[in-house]
Structure 1
Amino acid sequence: MVLKHGDVIGLEDRLGDHLPELQSPLADVTVGRALDMTGGLPPDTRECLTLLGLSVYTETEAGQLLDYLASLKRLNFDAGSEISYSNTGYRLVEAALERKGFRFNDFVKSDIAQQLGIFMEAPDVWNDPVAGLVPGYWKSGEKWQLSSAGLHISASGSLTGSGMALTKWAQALVNGEGGPFKGLLDRLSADRRLSDGRVTGYGLGLRRNEVDGKRFVGHGGSHPGYKSYFLLDPTAKTGMIVVSNREDANTYKMARDCMAALNGLSLPETNCTIPDGLYVADSGPFWLEMRNGIANWLDSEDTLYDIGGGWFSSLSPSSPVRLRWTGTELEGEIGYVSRRLKPVKVEPLGHELDGHWQAPSYGASFDIKDGHLIMGIGPTRRAMPLEDLGQGRALFTLHDGPWTKRVCLHKLQDDRIELVLSRARMIEYVR
């Protein structure tokens, strides 16, 4: 949609040029970086709301969320220095285009659905009726639950349609058919770079996936109870579509394994020998847990694959992890940033952070008492044990419907802390 309307919004434009209410440094992020995951935008609105105590089920509207984003004054990281998956850039660019008279759902209907003779819809909220949409499910203990969510969805993940509709759209992309699809796959997957010139492997909403030396292009999506992925071979003009209405489906792995079988490719080996346990950086809110070959970085999980020489990689352009164990510490890169992480043993938290903590601008608060973080009101009030990681850091686990979040509390000053998740690293509270 941005590529079509390049005369009114350019990839090198500042977001603030089109959304003047945004404050620096958010306003200074370019449209291109907002879309290629290198903008450091306070990344995922949903995760920001989690850190303010709002549930996945809490209803929010587009205007409310834009006002909230306009109040923010911190990025996750300096734009162009790192890559970390974020939906906020797509939300902001959608808002900018809408102000110029171009609605995302209108574009979906005119430039995709009508062109291909399929049904596709981009609803604004979860409760908008969508013809033919089956319920989504997530597993709670031994029971399956119907999924739902309250967040205004936005162009970052509002596209709905059947598996066949997605197939026809992917076919149009990979075949480069006339009209709006000619050359579009190449433009969406073209190289994007960090500030230092390194290619990231993530384009404008499409990511590169390499299997046994062969390059594919694709992307996935997820909402509570729904998962999808498409993976395309631009050379052979083949592809695989996977859609699921259950939370536990690994749609990327299904698509990858099928494309590997189709092409006679060897799948990557895990064989990860990095010791299980928690690791932390010397400073900052940065932690990682290894468990059975899966790296959990700030609550974002990736399987690590053996790439030789003692190195293990996530093989993911949107959440790149490349690490090795030296015998005393982990070294490597996460998000293309150099990291050294040392083993740590958790201890119960003492009383130094006890008290009432507030985010005054948002009316959010919690208490810390006797080694627990206490958040919520009435029957939703819960006490979550804090695990001390040292250097003013502690972890706690927050359960919210289908999701379980491990949050890092990081002390900035004696009476000032931040709560940190991979996609939201800038929510501050004061005592």
Structure 2
Amino acid sequence: MRAGKVPGMAVLIMRAGDTLLSRGYGYADVESKRKVMTSSVFRIGSITKQFTAAAVLQLVEAGKLRLTDSLHLYVPTLRGPARNATIHQLLSHTSGIPSYTELPAFRAKARSPILPTEMLRMIDTAALRFAHGEQWAYNNSGYYLLGLVIERAAGVSYAAYVQRAILLPNGLRQTGYCGSPEGVAETVVGYDVEEGAVSRTGDFSMANPFAAGALCSSAQELGGWLRTLMGGHVITAGSLQRMLTPVSLPGGRRTAYGYGLEVTELGGRERIGHGGSIPGFDAYAAFYPESSFTVIVLTNNGSANAEAIEKTFARQLLGIASLSIRELPLPKGTLAMYVGSYRAGPGRVVVTQRGERLHVAGPVDADLAYIGDHTFVLVDEPDVKLAFRVEVDSATSIAWTSRGRTLTLPRVP
């Protein structure tokens, strides 16, 4: 349980159709001491995106939309530059539309329900980060908009379509839109853990993540879902191949992202998966096609770093040695230049000094090891790298690299 950092966790490990481990750890509700089971229903955050992508591809197969269609055909109220992005660009994070979770207008009211009309206004009035199709940047706006595209093309709500066309036909009855009439009731409470103190995460409206991150599920059902999806039982073989093909950028540059799924590697083994982090919860679901292993980790703490836990299990299963760290010494007093708060989307990453090491809290909660040139790695997950930009003996930003992509986190007062 990562030294008490995670109140509760569900883990499922499968090989083909055989369950190797199905276990709950800790508490679904700390106050009542109700324990986690692999049937416990967690918020899964951005793991939602693969369900949204599959729904879009089903509608493409049915002739109700095309990947080359422009967004304005389905969301005609848009007047800004976002309107000309294609469905393909929304699915692959190449639209250039800024993620609404990074917009100041959203951050000011992130935990309160925001009406679709207001969310669209935020997105519509924001300048593009880059021209459509020119670059790649992870983007919650794209998948929020895809939810509206699904509603227009299918003629029913996003929650109803996903339940009717994706979930129920595949026997998924513990999966659905969190708390909606067409969805499921979550059974796990989300928590914040700071310096060992556990407290319930404050209210967070699931209307806001919508098709980008509003589904709930259990470890049992996510394991079954990945096996069903990868087996070609949800969309056609051609659509699945499209979903699993990392998008290429101009000049032949490759990304690690297809549609709603990342295609990376662990110790030279292909790894298909996605994480999900939402206030009070962190999750990761991965499939290893060469060995048919599925690893699901769901936690009820937003900074639990479920992906690092998943990788630990996967390395043991696949016989992959853990990455070694060649930690370098730093002159006494040097760590102070890195200490501070850095903006990460709607939240913050906080870097503090603990003894002779730095500690980071925010999307993850971990100690850092210094490897040289103002660069650190997570002690528990050394393939996650934090490179600090330093000016006049003080860090001004962090280049955070994980799973082949780098995000810039500016320092804030």
TM-score (norm 1): 0.62
Q: Report the equivalent of 1:11.
A: 67
Offset at 1:163? 1.2
Offset at 1:169? 0.4
The 1:113/1:133 distance shift into structure 2, 3 A limit, reads same
Identify which of 221, 229, 233 aligns with 1:165: 221
Confirm whether residue 28 of structure 1 aligns to residue 84 of structure 2: yes
Q: Report the equivalent of 2:11.
A: none
2:103 aligned counterpart, secondary structure: helix
Offset at 1:406? 6.9
Q: Report the equivalent of 1:99.
A: 152
Identity %: 24
Confirm whether residue 156 of structure 1 aligns to residue 212 of structure 2: yes
1:160 aligned counterpart, secondary structure: strand
Confirm whether residue 70 of structure 1 aligns to residue 118 of structure 2: no
Return the letter of the residue paired with 1:93: L
Q: 2:280–2:301: 8 Å Cα contact kept in structure 1?
A: yes
Offset at 1:144? 1.9
Confirm whether residue 217 of structure 1 aligns to residue 265 of structure 2: no
Return the letter of the residue paired with 1:175: G
Offset at 1:273? 6.0
Identify which of 304, 309, 321 aligns with 1:249: 304
Counterpart CA distance in 2 for 1:127 and 1:83 is 35
- 1:238-267, Cα deviation, whole Å (9 max, x unpaired): 210111112231111111221221111123
Q: Report the equivalent of 1:258.
A: 313
Counterpart CA distance in 2 for 1:77 and 1:293 is 34
- 1:25-59, Cα deviation, whole Å (9 max, x unpaired): 2222222122212222111x23314x666143233
Unaligned residue ranges in structure 2 (runs of 5+):
1-54, 339-348, 399-407
Confirm whether residue 87 of structure 1 aligns to residue 140 of structure 2: yes
Counterpart CA distance in 2 for 1:128 and 1:16 is 27
**Equivalent residue runs for 1:106-117 within 5 Å:** 106-117=160-171
CA RMSD of aligned residues (A): 4.3
Q: 1:174–1:233: 8 Å Cα contact kept in structure 2?
A: no
Counterpart CA distance in 2 for 1:314 and 1:10 is 42
2:56 aligned counterpart, secondary structure: coil
Counterpart CA distance in 1 for 2:179 and 2:392 is 42
The 1:52/1:182 distance shift into structure 2, 3 A limit, reads closer
Counterpart CA distance in 2 for 1:293 and 1:35 is 37
**Equivalent residue runs for 1:211-360 within 5 Å:** 211-271=266-326, 343-346=391-394
The 1:142/1:260 distance shift into structure 2, 3 A limit, reads closer
The 1:142/1:237 distance shift into structure 2, 3 A limit, reads closer
The number of equivalent residue pairs is 322
Offset at 1:274? 11
Identify which of 84, 94, 97 aligns with 1:41: 97
Counterpart CA distance in 1 for 2:64 and 2:185 is 33
Q: 1:109–1:120: 8 Å Cα contact kept in structure 2?
A: no
Counterpart CA distance in 2 for 1:215 and 1:107 is 31
Offset at 1:9? 2.5
Offset at 1:16? 2.6
1:3 aligned counterpart, secondary structure: helix
Offset at 1:91? 0.6
Q: 1:125–1:152: 8 Å Cα contact kept in structure 2?
A: no
Return the letter of the residue paired with 1:21: T
TM-score (norm 2): 0.64
Q: 1:295–1:301: 8 Å Cα contact kept in structure 2?
A: yes
Larger Cα-atom Rg: 1
Offset at 1:300? 8.1
Counterpart CA distance in 1 for 2:327 and 2:384 is 13
Counterpart CA distance in 1 for 2:360 and 2:251 is 26
The 1:311/1:187 distance shift into structure 2, 3 A limit, reads farther
- 1:283-307, Cα deviation, whole Å (9 max, x unpaired): xxxxx999969999xx98899x99x
The 1:136/1:228 distance shift into structure 2, 3 A limit, reads same
- 1:86-116, Cα deviation, whole Å (9 max, x unpaired): 1100011211221231432223222332223
Return the letter of the residue paired with 2:255: T
Q: Report the equivalent of 1:198.
A: 253
Offset at 1:11? 2.0
1:201 aligned counterpart, secondary structure: coil
Counterpart CA distance in 1 for 2:365 and 2:186 is 33
Return the letter of the residue paired with 1:136: G
Offset at 1:158? 1.2
Q: Report the equivalent of 2:7.
A: none
Offset at 1:230? 0.8
Structure with the higher fraction of residues in helix conformation? 2
Confirm whether residue 2 of structure 1 aligns to residue 50 of structure 2: no
The 1:129/1:233 distance shift into structure 2, 3 A limit, reads closer
Q: Report the equivalent of 1:412.
A: none
